[in-house]
Amino acid sequence: MQENRTVVNMILAGDIGGTKTLLGIFDPRTPRPAAVLTREFSTPAYADLTTMISDFAKEPAVNGALVGSACFGIAGPVLGNTARLTNVPFIIDARDIARTFEIPRVTLLNDLEAMAHAVPLLDASELHVLQEGMPMPGANAALIAAGTGLGQALLHRVDGRFIPSATEAGHADWAARGERDITLLRDLLERFGRAEVEHVVCGAGLVNIHRVTHQGGQCAALDGEDDPDAPARISAAALERRCAGCVEALSMFVDAYGAEAGNLALRTVATAGVFIGGGIAPKILPALEDGRFMRAFTDKAPFQQMLKQIPVRVILNSGAALLGAAHVGATRLTIPD
């Protein structure tokens, strides 16, 4: 990647997800790094991240760049210098990447932690307001994002700035809130042995709900039971009201998403704001805006009034986690070994 050394101290950033990966090369401008080139890759199409980076390095804008720092947000737990994707058999070692591509500093973050680093950098055009609220000065914020999986992160306010903290809260136990949820809970317990939040609030979770609302039967919106585009097809059929079972499935999904976002707000006292990231929310905005999401978010007596004061915003920038990783990579340029 660095043979010609025509560009000095660039940042290599990545958002490594279970379905797709975004890689980018960034100019480390402050406060917001500027993308020189970004590319999307199918994560399951590659055996490992090193091979994917090698393909990206062949791009003319990347070949010859002197990369002073790299940072990758990864959809899975990060333990020291290594990470394992939750839904894809990738093991990523920061030291191997540093040696292979001669990068002085390589940082691994949970993908939601990376996205959380982008939150303070986003402008108003990159956010969609679900609840205006009244942010409390000096308070914490929080981030929840449903896509291939479900991620959550905390943004602790320390000395006037947000310090992101990763979690694996998507794999915590899911709580049923009513009779139709109890039917879903029974199905999840039978199939998986336990019900975790990610079994409900993510793309595969929408499919799990759809199975229950159709009582295991066929649905004209899907191309067979193993349709790889099932979440998008279910959402489209629901938003267009072509299938009553899909409408109910999306309704249950939105309720569960709003309820879990409210849970996160309570657990973190996120009175500075709750941000909704991930690939699903921007695609189902009409369903998020019709009141169900915010009703589930605030329906937590005796804290309804507090929750009604919390700003809630959907992140529209699909590259937010990549931007956050680039920002962290840029800060590492100034940190000595």
Spell out the domain ranges in the chain. Answer: 7-115+319-332, 123-316
State the pLDDT at residue 297.
98
Q: Following CA atoms 195, 197, 203, 206 in sequence, which dihedral angle do they give, to the nearest 10 degrees?
A: 60
State the pLDDT at residue 1.
58
CB atoms within 10 A of CB 96: 16
The DSSP line for 15-36 is EE-SSEEEEEEEE--SSSPEEE
Is domain 123-316 classified as CATH 3.40.50.970? no
Owner of token pair 């039967």 = 217
Global confidence as pTM: 0.92
Beta bridge partners of 157: 162
Look at residues 96, 99, 93, 68 and name the one whose alpha carbon lies nearest to residue 81.
93
Look at residues 55, 4, 170, 2 and name the one whose alpha carbon lies nearest to residue 14.
55
Look at residues 264, 87, 91 and name the one whose alpha carbon lies nearest to residue 167.
264
The answer to whether 319 and 270 are in contact (CB under 8 A) is: no
The DSSP line for 101-140 is HT-S-EEEEEHHHHHHHHGGG--GGGEEEEE---PPTT--
State the pLDDT at residue 285.
98
Look at residues 167, 155, 110 and name the one whose alpha carbon lies nearest to residue 321.
110
Fold match, 7-115+319-332 / 123-316:
no
Joined together, the tokens standing for residue 126 give 């990159």
Task: Provide block-wise average pLDDT over 10 residues at a time, the chain (337 residues).
Answer: 56 93 91 93 94 94 89 91 87 95 94 96 97 96 95 95 94 96 98 97 96 88 84 96 97 98 98 97 97 97 97 97 96 63
State the pLDDT at residue 335.
46
Domain at 7-115+319-332: CATH code: 3.30.420.40
State the pLDDT at residue 225.
66
State the pLDDT at residue 178.
95
Joined together, the tokens standing for residue 204 give 């595969």
Look at residues 326, 319, 325, 322 and name the one whose alpha carbon lies nearest to residue 126.
319
